[in-house]
Structure 1
Amino acid sequence: MTPLRIGSLCSGYRGLDMAVETVFDATTAWVSDVDPGANKILAHHWPTVPNLGDLTTIRWEDVEPVDIVCGGYPCQPFSTAGLRKGTQDERHIWPHIADALRVLRPRYAVLENVAGHLRLGFDTVLADLARLGFDAEWCLVRASEVGAPHQRNRLFLLAVAADAADLGHERGRGARDGWPGSADHGDAAADADRVGRGAGEQHVRSGKPDAAWGRFLPAVRRWEAVLGRPAPRATDDRNRLSPAFVEWLMGLPAGHVTAVPDLTRTQQLKALGNGVVPQQAAAAIRLLAARTDPATAVPAAA
């Protein structure tokens, strides 16, 4: 059977894409990002995958059709850390994503954003998806619910094309329940900074590895067990937050961001702060897939 093909929007370091590839056993046809740091990461790891660039200027009629469109579109319009202008924010690019879905007609759409989006602007997304012929399921999942030592509550949405003949998907319903919690906990760099600075202070007072984590030790050990590798030191020699530590917190392979050539520390932290924890996203997608009809045939966890 031919693998499903992914089109990735607002790709970043591709944390959401990794989850989609894993759950759907899919491959990626193209990506799209404009951030210089993110584009260095994309070019380093996926040099043969086309980067379509600015999604607001793309003529979707000229783009290769895909089975799945996924994207964690900018959260600034909806985050409690910002001005919460919602759909009036110039960074609100959902209408362009809706246009991509209208033209490309994928079987699935997988979207991610901050929990605050549920209370601001999400009604517009659901209305547009319904108008385009997609059934939607959504939930809130914290990174801590898959073992991460930070909360990072995020909103995930799985939309299925109701008119896809081979899906038998004609319910036309949504699910607002989802996992507990609705608070917006900010970005990974901020979460890591809280853990990292506490650990850094402990490190100064004690040379013992376990003592260095202080009260964060149980959470750190739990994530080490999930990832199968030890946590790097939280701070660098100048007592600044270490990008390698944030990379570990985000559940990424060592060096996925930090070993990319010519990527500055600022670019590393920006990419990581805007990213998605792949394990968290995979858990959310599987939870949402379990709510759909069996005919959707989304693979279960291995």
Structure 2
Amino acid sequence: MLFGLSFIVFLVLFLLPGDVTSAMFSRPESISTSQKEQILINLGLDKGFFTQYFLWLKSIFTFDFGHSFINGQSVGSIIVERLPNSLILLGLSYFFIMFLSLILGIISAVYKNSFVDYFINFSTFTLMCMPHFWFGLMLIIIFSVNLGLLPSSGANFLGQNGFSLKHTILPLCAIVLPHIGINIKFIRDLFVENINKEFIQASIARGLNKFDIYKLTILYISPSIVRYFGTLAGSIFGGLYVIEAVFSYPGVGELSLNSIIAKDYPVVLATLLVSGIIVVLANLIAEILSILIDKRNYEK
């Protein structure tokens, strides 16, 4: 799957108009055609599409991501420098999306068809309809430009001067809030559907108190919830790419988008591969956890 996706991305980059020399020089028209051709030869871009792709594929199997066409820096070192920032934002986003979705989804289910239920659904649906980049820009205008409460950019790499978690607050909100709407609805509907199961209704008939009924229902649906949140990794990472660019947050997402514009093949493909591995691992971990939770609940 990852290599199929890399093939498609490589093909799209190959077919894009222009070449890497446009990004390498501030005035690309100042260099001659022969100089451009020599640069392309040095970078191996004079070869055909399949030759370029399979050479890249061969280097990946030796853990050699190559060097950036733009600055000559090792792609591996660029990724290592930026990946921690993205993982911090991704981890926090995952935590708050899961936490808020679970809490609000269960509250919405418990107070089904009440004002609380309608208010939660209306609020989250409104947020869900807002594109990530537009919502991010609104947060910048309100909290950074007008109120001056939070920085809109200026974050540095983890471990360096200038890095602060306050730089993650606005990007975090821009990722989390538009994401939770559909998740709250999923949790709510799952809870309402399963609280009507025969064994739970039998527990109610035996006089089990409401708290224990809700606890039993949550335990019963927990494998489905864990599995569902595992599938969100790709969606969250997609939002991460856009939001990092909006807030000039120095992570893998911003790096990838800038590299696409510059047609910096090695960097684009490396960021794609790393992102894909993280998404696959998230799904795998969620699947394993759901099986373990399901087994534990069955034993109980």
TM-score (norm 1): 0.27
TM-score (norm 2): 0.28
Name whichever structure is richer in strand by fraction: 1
**Higher RCO (CA < 8 A, seq sep 6+):** 2
